[in-house]
Structure 1
């Protein structure tokens, strides 16, 4: 399996949907509804350059949305068959690299409060929980990670 993370292409859209659905499907019963990433317009996200993939076949997917002052991680999805292989770690490392390349030195993301695995995982990668709030039917915990600008910046 290649660990080169690359921008997704239109040909990747079915794999992006398949990996996203497989990654989030287990949470449906726990949170009582479909996680939002499952219902995104994957083709539109790919066309807008927001989606990055890893693996051949694709085993990991990132959806990243740059804002003026931070990079927002819309989704991190790793196919269950690839768990334990470092795919998620590599994707989160790429998020930091990509943010810095864009001149953004903060990364934000949120996870459903019922996805306790994520709530334990993100602090291990330097994220701090900064807010918990209900948004519609979703109980979300927002995380933030501040990145050090390169020297001379």
Structure 2
């Protein structure tokens, strides 16, 4: 499976995928995480949304933005029914390749500070914590991964 840009007619399916992927976090953080309320029509129109399909439906998505000298990995979502198939790692590798293709020296991301599992996962993938701060009403952990020249 290769990530491809999301198409305009997939906005509702993309929103539904993200809502399903993030639903488990609502009880932990006490409200819907930011990706659950994002505007996927706008994300698709801006060329920021990439998806992967499995068995004819959207299985995973990633939102990538060019931002302040880096590629911002704004959101990565894996459908609960397709977890454990390596899609997360595939999309993370794709993000790195895309950052290099666009000439960025690093990838930045953030996650809710209560999502400790995610923080640990990103640390294991070579990201470093750069700061913690409140953003849009969420206590977030900001992380960055410098990219070498090797693909």
* TM-score, structure 2 normalization: 0.94
1:82-121, aligned counterparts within 5 Å? Answer: 82-121=82-121
Indicate the larger mover: 134-143 or 33-42: 134-143
The offset of 1:150, in angstroms, is 5.2
* TM-score, structure 1 normalization: 0.92
Partner SS for 2:58: coil
Q: Which residue of 1 aligns with 2:140?
A: 140
* Deviations 1:3-42, CA, capped at 9 Å, x for gaps: 1100111122122111100011111111011100111110
Q: Which residue of 2 aligns with 1:51?
A: 49
CA distance in 2, matches of 1:76, 1:118: 11
Q: Which residue of 2 aligns with 1:40?
A: 38
CA distance in 1, matches of 2:125, 2:85: 16
Unaligned runs of 5+ in 2: none
Structure with a larger share of its residues in strand: 2
Moved over 6 A (4+): none
